[in-house]
């Protein structure tokens, strides 16, 4: 538990800050960092280039904004030293172009200026620059600012990657590695909204007599069985489809691009593979389990998430009523009902 008075978000923020500072310290190397110097004065380019090369940086040179943009088409630098006052495209305009391009917007830019005019400095920050150096500057100041902004940029990239990974993990079930219901509810309706004609099938799955497994082998082995079953499912899911741990011994599978017929064939393949598998072999057991499955398909069975899940759940109950260990399709159930005596779940 977090210390008294500190929320979990505070602890996470402190941990992220600590990780960033540690990352910055470990990434103060220069060998892999490339720097683009942009200045119309060849003397300045030669001087800055020599300083940075001796410090171990890979240096690329451009004598205009146009040339800098051309070079960046082929290779993206880790940092840019950019003169403000240049003929043609000014440094300010070059900076704006770089920052407006999603491909280059995160590259740190340090303006080089011979003026300490506050208007120019503010204009540089407004254009998107991270810092500025007034010419002439000392080698120590130049290298210190370069190191600082390279480290900050690396830390920001690491933080973005961490956030992306955290978001990914927030949609996963810890035990099975499948998605969780949060992901299902977030993804399924938006998936349907983007598909005017492409079919999709939802499967509801329940482990038959799972209570007997728990009563016989214990709760821990029950959890192991669920995790092993999920591994069987993941091996058989086609690209673009995904599985969801719906709670306890229930699962939802989403088959992207599968109609009722092809969806049932895939469901039957997964059901048969589970039946043929032996579980808990790592615990010197070899138990067999079966599953019951119900499927509903878009667009024929329902046109929205609630309807699909409801109808697939209805089909699962029918599979249980048939004696378990089988796949029931909502469309087949509906077709078998006397006309006028059946009310679909999604109505």
Q: List the CATH number of the domain containing 239.
A: 3.30.70.270
DSSP strands (E only) in 208-303: 242-247, 250-256, 291-298
Asked whether residue 135 is assigned to any structural domain, the reply reads: yes
H or E element, residue 17: helix 8-26
Position with higher pLDDT, 137 vs 106? 106
Token code pair at residue 198: 């492409």
Asked whether residue 175 is assigned to any structural domain, the reply reads: no
Do 188 and 126 lie in a common domain?
A: no
Do 36 and 143 lie in a common domain?
A: yes
Range of the domain at 289: 181-336
Using pLDDT thresholds of 50, 70 and 90, give the confidence band for residue 99: very high
CA separation for the pair 115, 224 (Å, rounded) = 69
CB atoms within 10 A of CB 257: 15
Do 159 and 194 lie in a common domain?
A: no
Asked whether residue 92 is assigned to any structural domain, the reply reads: yes
Asked whether residue 342 is assigned to any structural domain, the reply reads: no
Domain final residue pick, 144, 168, 192:
168
Do 139 and 205 lie in a common domain?
A: no
Q: Are 203 and 294 in contact (CB under 8 A)?
A: yes
Longest distance between any two alpha carbons in the chain, whole Å: 91
Do 116 and 241 lie in a common domain?
A: no
Query: For strand 291-298 and strand 200-207, is the pairing parallel, antiparallel, or unpaired?
Result: antiparallel
Do 202 and 150 lie in a common domain?
A: no
Using pLDDT thresholds of 50, 70 and 90, give the confidence band for residue 241: very high
Do 94 and 191 lie in a common domain?
A: no
CA separation for the pair 229, 243 (Å, rounded) = 11
Domain final residue pick, 146, 168, 190:
168
CA separation for the pair 197, 287 (Å, rounded) = 42
Token code pair at residue 230: 């999920």
Asked whether residue 346 is assigned to any structural domain, the reply reads: no
Do 192 and 259 lie in a common domain?
A: yes
The confidence score (pLDDT) of residue 96 equals: 95
Asked whether residue 176 is assigned to any structural domain, the reply reads: no
Q: Are 207 and 289 in contact (CB under 8 A)?
A: yes
DSSP-based three-state secondary structure for 313: helix
CA separation for the pair 223, 209 (Å, rounded) = 14
Using pLDDT thresholds of 50, 70 and 90, give the confidence band for residue 5: very low
Do 93 and 189 lie in a common domain?
A: no
What percentage of the chain exceeds 70 in pLDDT? 88
Give the mean pLDDT of 309-337. Answer: 93
Query: Could you write out the DSSP letters of every residue in 324-341?
Result: SSSEEEHHHHHHHSPTTS
The number of distinct structural domains making up the chain is: 2
Give Cβ neighbours of residue 220 (< 8 Å, ≥ 6 apart). none
Do 141 and 240 lie in a common domain?
A: no
Q: Is the peptide bond before 136 cis (omega within 30 degrees of 0)?
A: yes
Q: How far, in whole angstroms, is CA 143 from its chain's centroid?
A: 35
Predicted model pTM: 0.59
Q: Are 295 and 201 in contact (CB under 8 A)?
A: yes
Give the mean pLDDT of 106-133. Answer: 89
Do 298 and 232 lie in a common domain?
A: yes
Name the DSSP letter for residue 323: T
Do 100 and 238 lie in a common domain?
A: no
First CA to last CA distance, the chain = 46
Asked whether residue 1 is assigned to any structural domain, the reply reads: no
Please provide the average confidence, as pLDDT, over all residues in the chain. Answer: 87
pLDDT digits (tens, 9 = 90+) for 58-89: 999 999 999 999 999 999 999 999 999 898 89
Domain final residue pick, 141, 168, 195:
168
Asked whether residue 345 is assigned to any structural domain, the reply reads: no
The confidence score (pLDDT) of residue 17 equals: 52
CA separation for the pair 43, 329 (Å, rounded) = 77
């Amino acid at each position: 538990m977090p210390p008294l008075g500190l929320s979990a978000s505070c602890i996470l923020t402190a941990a992220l800050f600590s990780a960033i500072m540690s990352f910055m310290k470990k990434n103060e190397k220069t060998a892999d960092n490339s720097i683009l110097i942009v200045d119309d004065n060849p003397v300045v380019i030669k001087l800055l280039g020599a300083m940075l090369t001796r410090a171990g940086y890979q240096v690329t040179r451009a004598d205009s904004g146009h040339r800098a943009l051309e070079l960046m088409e082929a290779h993206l630098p880790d940092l840019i030293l950019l003169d403000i006052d240049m003929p043609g495209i000014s440094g300010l305009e070059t900076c704006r172009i770089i920052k407006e391009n999603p491909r280059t917007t995160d590259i740190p830019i340090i303006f080089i200026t011979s003026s300490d005019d506050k208007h120019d400095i503010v204009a540089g920050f407004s254009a998107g620059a991270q810092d500025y150096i007034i010419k002439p500057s000392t080698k120590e100041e130049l290298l210190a600012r370069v190191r600082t902004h390279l480290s900050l940029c690396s830390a920001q990239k690491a933080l973005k990657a961490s956030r992306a990974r955290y978001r990914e993990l927030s949609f996963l079930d810890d035990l099975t590695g499948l998605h969780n219901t949060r992901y299902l509810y977030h993804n399924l309706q938006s998936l349907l909204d983007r598909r005017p004609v492409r079919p999709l099938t939802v499967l509801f799955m329940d482990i038959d007599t799972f209570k007997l497994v728990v009563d016989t082998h214990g709760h821990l082995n029950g959890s192991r069985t669920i995790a092993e079953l999920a591994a069987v499912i993941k091996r058989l899911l086609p690209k673009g489809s995904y599985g969801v741990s719906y709670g306890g011994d229930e699962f939802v599978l989403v088959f992207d691009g599968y109609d009722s017929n092809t969806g049932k064939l895939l469901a039957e393949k997964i059901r048969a593979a589970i039946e043929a598998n032996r579980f808990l072999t790592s615990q010197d057991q070899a138990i067999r389990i079966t599953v019951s499955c119900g499927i509903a398909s878009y667009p024929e069975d329902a046109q929205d998430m609630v309807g699909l899940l409801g109808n697939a759940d209805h089909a699962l109950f029918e599979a249980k009523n048939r004696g378990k260990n089988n796949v029931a399709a909502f469309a087949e159930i509906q077709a078998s009902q006397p006309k006028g005596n059946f009310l679909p779940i999604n109505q």
